[in-house]
Amino acid sequence: MSKPVNVYSISQVSQVLNESLPGVLARLGYTETFELVDQKLLIGYSIALVAAVSFFIDKRFVHDDIVHYQQVLVGAYFVLSVIFWYFKKYVEKSVVYSGKTKNGNATIKISTAYEEGKPQYSVMFTDKDKKRVESKLEINTVFSAEGYLQTDLFLEWVKQQLATLDNKKQ
């Protein structure tokens, strides 16, 4: 059993629920995918590579010979930084889990949020067809009075939300 959480701190509760999602969804037959993380890493490494090339040519060559190259590299750095910002703001959003079933028939993305001072955990389930189910989980339904997460209750709640999402498809 995990250690208890302060159920009056929605940020701690949200963190515990986010961390338990992969285990719960694994029990439901989902495998976590890391496509969004891989894409973010690719953009980040590209930014670092442009910066490294800029530094290298600045140290190796005379300033007057490389001004045009530096301008291109600064432009590339700017464009990649804007792409990275856009990716984090609009593509990745607040996605905490991305996965698919073992047979690959269903994919899912789960975004979470919370509002400080409200004992609700907002969860958005999105499937590959962009159908969505937004639900609010009352904290006291999955946590005991002592602050322990009751994973079986959380599993049942997630299962209900996935069933609602499946019913929306039909």
Same domain, 87 and 111: no
* pLDDT value, residue 1: 53
Percent above pLDDT 90 for the chain: 70
Look at residue 158 and tell me if it is in a domain: yes
Q: What average pLDDT does the structure give for the chain?
A: 91
Residues 78 and 122 in one domain: no
86 and 142 together in one domain: no
For the stretch 109-154, pLDDT in tens is 999 998 888 888 999 999 888 889 999 999 889 999 899 999 999 9
pLDDT at position 82 over 80 = yes
Domain that holds residue 161: 10-30+105-169
158/141 Cα distance (integer angstroms)? 12
In a domain, 53, yes or no: yes
Q: What domain count does the chain have?
A: 2
51 has a pLDDT exceeding 90: yes
* Cα–Cα distance, 124 to 38 (Å, whole number): 22
